[in-house]
């Protein structure tokens, strides 16, 4: 469970829109949405994953 300024966020593949990963972030230091290049098991390749609700 996240505490204080840290919030749990879900990462979604930009290609197939599948929600694959969960992570947390500090909302005070990173107010914009996170973007990572991660492996998508549905696409079977590395794609950009973006923060979603």
Q: DSSP of 1-27, one letter per residue?
A: ---TTEEEEEEEETTT--EEEEEEEET
The pLDDT of residue 35: 96
Confidence category of residue 3, pLDDT binned at 50, 70, 90: confident
CB 40 within 8 A of CB 53: no
Q: What's the pLDDT tens digit per position in 11-39?
A: 999 999 999 999 999 999 999 999 999 99
Confidence category of residue 2, pLDDT binned at 50, 70, 90: low
Domain ranges of the chain: 6-52
The pLDDT of residue 1: 65
This prediction has a pTM of 0.84
User: φ, ψ for residue 44 (rounded to 5)?
Assistant: 60, 40
Task: Kindly state the tokens that stand for 30.
Answer: 């990173």
Could you give the CA distance from residue 44 to residue 33 in angstroms, rounded to a whole number? Answer: 24
Its CATH class, for the domain covering 6-52, is mainly beta
């Amino acid at each position: 469970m996240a505490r204080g300024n840290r919030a749990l966020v879900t990462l979604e593949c930009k290609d197939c829109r599948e929600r694959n990963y969960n992570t947390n972030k500090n909302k005070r230091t990173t107010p914009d949405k996170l973007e990572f290049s991660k492996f998508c098991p549905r696409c079977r390749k590395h794609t950009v994953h973006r923060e979603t609700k």
